[in-house]
Structure 1
Amino acid sequence: MWERIAEYSGTRNTPLSLRTVCAVCVDLTGMSGAWVSGLPGSAGPAIATDPLAETLSDLQVLLGEGPAADAVKDGRPVAVTDVATVASRRVWPLFARAAADSGARAMLVLPIRVGTATIGLFGLYSRVPTVLVTSQRAEVDAFAGVALGLLLDGVHHSPSDLRRHVPDGWSPVHPEIHQATGIVSVQLGLDVAEALVCLRAHAYAQARPLLEIAREIVTRRRRFRPNTSEPGIGAP
């Protein structure tokens, strides 16, 4: 997988990014497009390989139903062989029709999770009815893991550095983020999922990688305090 990502980035002179991950996953699985998005209501558009992928992500937010909504609710991947079937329209009466009218048929949506918290969605679609085999599903799971790492870290490496920065066995989840989430949950009296949301929101507002904020919290250089002018955030 990493060799394909490195090859894709190198031949196009593009950095390692969520869009790169989506594009390579599409190439390997034979699907038509892919996207990565935040949870419904989160700021920012989906990162997508093509306009239809972005449309499918937006439709599910606007209509409040679809595989993505179910993936968030149930905390598990949701696969649809054909959204144009009667069965699909029974489950998602608005979305299934709109998706089929847009040109999509098959879909797979995975929740991107840190522990029990879902922080985003990784979606794929095909213009023809499709069933991914076990090996393809394993590849999608791996790409979703890479997407998790990029969402948490804000990683951008140039193609010449890619192989050095993403060796075999690289893990996208840093222990500092787990530790910081636990610390913030205690400081603010929140559950772990809510604490992670606070961390992500603060990193986004500061335009800094989540890992940097997490390390400051773990090393006691930053502390979250309730009832401050900056909600839940205060310097030591």
Structure 2
Amino acid sequence: MTSSDQLRAAILLAAAMAEHERQCAERSLRFAERHEGLLDTGSAEQRKLHERMSAINRGSAERHLATRRIHLAHAERLRNWRLDDPLGVEPFMSAMAEIVGAPTALTLVGSSLAQAYASASDGVAEAAQDLELMLSEGPMTDAVRAGEPAVAEVGSRSDAQRWPLYLPALADLGVREVIAVPVGSRWSRLGALAVFGPGHAGAIVRRLGQVADALTQSVLLASDSAGGFPYLTFFSAGSGRSTIHRAVGMLCERMGCGPADALALLRARAFTAGLAVETVASGVVRREITLD
């Protein structure tokens, strides 16, 4: 299959997923309305049950509609994406940034919570994300570890004490505020989603939380009738900056070290061997280089 064929297939998949989410939202709303129509009947306990079921279904409808917006924006980005443009942004993350309203980055982690995959909507988000990998501190790291949102204002003294290395470096990028929310659940932490420089933290946290929930339930964990996970193709090795991050994650789990130490090992081997860091990382991922 050629690159053009793969792109057309991706567009069709995104459009099909958007239509699926629309249908799911309509079904959830019908269920909610059915329970709301029964609120004035039955006992007090039955009314509480109908209220709870109405809230659950309306929450489900919101998530499906949020996911539909992601898929539609992604399909539009794919239609306008130039395959021959090496500087073009990754379409999925560009769509996420449009939904959230600010530069956006996604980090997925392995079982040891080390970064295994990274993708960003633009140069600012990419640089901010890479700072966390290099410095081993920052909002996405904290959001994954704590399982709750991490918010910081660049220039704040209290936040500077929490991330003494990260925030000054972030200021050099022109970012005023950073917000990260966990992706996954309290039982399974899959990663974190962050926005940079948005302002209005309260509104952004809620919107980002909705997007992260939609991303978790309807993209990362969404299976088809055959039990596969079709939308995970957008997080394959051909997208995002996965090679170095996968190598760092593998080294962290194999050697029991932190991301900064793993990255230092990659760079040291690259320097002594006269190779690019990406080349060494590829060797680690293919298990041709162990760095033991």
TM-score by length of 1: 0.54
1:138 aligns with 2:206: yes
Tell me if 1:59 matches 2:131: yes
Deviations 1:8-29 (A, max 9, x none): 24433459xxx55543443344
User: Is the counterpart of residue 23 in structure 1 residue 88 in structure 2?
Assistant: no
Identity, % of aligned positions: 23
In 2, Cα distance between equivalents of 1:107 and 1:59: 13
After superposition, where does 1:1-236 map in structure 2 within 5 Å? 1-2=66-67, 4-14=69-79, 22-31=93-102, 33-39=103-109, 41-44=114-117, 46-80=118-152, 82-126=153-197, 130-134=199-203, 136-148=204-216, 149-152=218-221, 153-155=229-231
Change (3 A) 1:84 1:109: same
Q: CA RMSD in A?
A: 3.0
Residues 147 and 137 of structure 1: CA distance in aligned 2, closer, same or farther (over 3 Å): same
* Distance in 1 of aligned mates of 2:144 and 2:230: 22
When the two structures are aligned, how many residues end up with a matched partner? 150
Secondary structure of the corresponding residue to residue 93 of structure 1: coil
What is the DSSP-based 3-state SS (H/G/I as helix, E as strand, rest coil) of the residue aligned with 1:38? strand
Alpha-carbon shift at residue 97 of structure 1 (Å): 0.7
Is the CA contact (8 Å cut-off) linking 1:112 and 1:121 kept in structure 2? yes
Distance 1:60 1:78 in 2: 13
In 1, the alpha carbon distance for the partners of 2:233 and 2:144 equals 30
CA contact (8 A) 2:74 2:91 kept: yes
Question: What 5-or-longer segments of structure 1 have no aligned partner?
Answer: 159-196, 198-236
Q: Quick one: structure 1 residues 63 and 12, their matched pair in 2 at CA, closer, same or farther if it must change by over 3 Å?
A: closer
CA–CA separation in structure 2 for the residues paired with 1:142 and 1:4:
12
How does the TM-score come out when normalised to structure 2?
A: 0.44
Contact 2:70 2:99 in 1 (8 A): no
CA–CA distance in structure 2, aligned partners of residues 28 and 110 of structure 1: 15
Asked if the contact 2:140/2:150 (under 8 Å) is kept, the reply is yes
Larger Rg over CA atoms = 2
Give the Cα–Cα distance (whole angstroms) in 2 for the partners of residues 75 and 6 of structure 1. 26
Cα distance in 2 for partners of 1:114, 1:3 equals 21
Question: C-alpha distance in 1, partners of 2:77/2:174?
Answer: 28
Letter in 2 for 1:120: G
C-alpha distance 14-143 of structure 1, shift in aligned 2 (>3 A): farther
Q: Is the 8 A contact 1:26 1:34 kept in 2?
A: yes
SS at match of 1:23: helix
